[in-house]
Structure 1
Amino acid sequence: MSLKQIALTTIITLFFLVGCKDESNKKDSSIKTKNQHKEIIEKDSTIAEELEEEKFVLNEENAIQFFFDYQKGLKENKVKITTSLGSFIIQLFENVPYHKANFIYLTRKGYFDNTQFHRIVKNFIIQGGNADDEATPKKRREIGRYLLPPDTRKGHKHHRGTLSMPSSENDNPHKLASPYEFFIVVTKPGSYHLDGNYTPFGKVISGMDVVDKINAVDTGKGDWPSVNVYIEKAEVID
């Protein structure tokens, strides 16, 4: 074989080897791309499932069953309320399960954070869970629209320091409770005319002096405090 033929054969062989290597790289790249695509699909699926869970909204049809299930095994019964005037601790009654579960649930959802004590009646009550901002109604929409049935025959009275739940509205003959709001009695020794109409579901066990301090602030029209009293944070504690 001549030198020219040998050289030509060598060049053809090199071209063949390079071509095979390129084809191999293309296959590796294709496999890697497919695996990456699979990972993205799996990740998107997981995110979609998490978003679906987050979309759960309470309503009149599912609220009672939800809180019935939620209160099973619920051992926590204390909530610390930190306000712009100090903090106090509430202990929730065990035999008012729906109202207890509702308050714990809303606390854990962060609903009460940055709401206000929006109604203060001297020597009577302080009422919290609302606010004159856009964030509060937005949080309510995200959690859901529902009411709780009254539970007034568990032996609890509206003593001073009692935590109770107001009715939803004036035209509410069954006294269905507004789940997003609560009031605390400051009257000495209590406001017993409320018994039978509203549901006591807890009591202040520490920091009643802070409750009194809130009750003492100046108020304007509609019993709204002249200076906003914020619930900075509500947290479930042991």
Structure 2
Amino acid sequence: MRLFFLTFVILSCWITSCQDNKSPKQNIQTKPEVQKKEVTPLKPKYTKRITNKNVIEILTEYGNKNKERFVKLSTDFGEIEIELYNETPLHRANFIQLVKRKFLNETCFYRVAKGFVIQGGNSDRMEMAKIKRRIGQFTIPHEIKKKLKHHYGCVAMARVYKNNPNKRSSPFEFYIDVDPKGSHHLDGEHTVIGRVIKGMDVAKKINLVEVDFSEWPRKDVYMKATIIK
């Protein structure tokens, strides 16, 4: 599966890759989708798929009913605890639903940019693709705030750069800043949704794993996400 993915990435010339050809610190884009054969949908639990037309309505309603703000990501390297900000309510609600729908449990930290970020929320697992289809195809309106900057330990959402003048976020792919100086060239470009409150030592360990030329770890770093409170 990984060989197929890498071949696909090479042939597509990294059009929507996690990193452009200029510098590993230029931007944080989403991972290109891999075409997968049809699979049987999950048993319905959430009936309404999210689209760009209803995303604000659905996430606002979901956020009003689900007030949680603290999430734990468990990995083979240890645990990372995250606080989500109320100042970005759509993104908070979306991240909480990803945890509750167990989407993140099928994903990994698929990009490790040394001294810059660890990026997660995607994988080549078929189960992940099934859950994603049930959630819907959409992007989130940006909630960029001047006071929420790319400091060390911040959590923010990836996005597509091409044909995205409004800087709408990916609903699935996020990253943690591991640069001690922060990554302030990304301020105003991506929505910062939270911060690591415990486990930056774990994030730094992940940032040290061996990677291939595409910054994909040679050994998958999967996660399990749970709600703390």
- Same-fold status (TM-score > 0.5): yes
Deviation, structure 1 residue 71 = 1.4
Are 1:235 and 2:209 an aligned pair?
no
AA aligned opposite 2:68: E
Deviation, structure 1 residue 73 = 5.1
The match for 1:151 among 119, 140, 143 is 143
Partner of 2:52: 60
AA aligned opposite 2:228: I
Counterpart of 2:131 in 1: which secondary structure? helix
Aligned CA distance change for structure 1 residues 138 and 192 (closer, same or farther; 3 Å): same
Are 1:117 and 2:106 an aligned pair?
no
Q: Which structure is larger by alpha-carbon Rg, 1 or 2?
A: 1
Partner of 1:182: 174
Equivalent runs, 1:1-238 vs 2, <5 Å: 54-72=46-64, 74-231=66-223, 233-238=224-229
Aligned CA-pair RMSD: 1.5
**Distance in 2, Cα, partners of 1:178 & 1:140:** 12
Q: C-alpha deviations, 1:17-67, integer Å up to 9, x for none?
A: xxxxxxxxxxxxxxxxxxxxxxxxxxxxxxxxxx77643211111111011
Q: Structure 1 length as normaliser, TM-score?
A: 0.75
Deviation, structure 1 residue 180 = 0.6
Partner of 2:30: none
Structure 2: runs of 5 or more not aligned: 1-42
**Distance in 1, Cα, partners of 2:199 & 2:219:** 21
Is 1:83–1:230's contact at 8 Å kept on the other side of the alignment?
yes
**Distance in 1, Cα, partners of 2:163 & 2:53:** 21
Deviation, structure 1 residue 89 = 0.3
AA aligned opposite 2:219: V
**Distance in 2, Cα, partners of 1:90 & 1:115:** 17
Q: Structure 2 length as normaliser, TM-score?
A: 0.77
**Distance in 2, Cα, partners of 1:131 & 1:220:** 15
Structure 1: runs of 5 or more not aligned: 1-50
Q: C-alpha deviations, 1:111-163, integer Å up to 9, x for none?
A: 00031100110000000000022221221111111100111125100000000
**Distance in 2, Cα, partners of 1:107 & 1:162:** 18
Is 1:77–1:93's contact at 8 Å kept on the other side of the alignment?
yes
**Distance in 1, Cα, partners of 2:109 & 2:169:** 18
Is 2:75–2:221's contact at 8 Å kept on the other side of the alignment?
yes
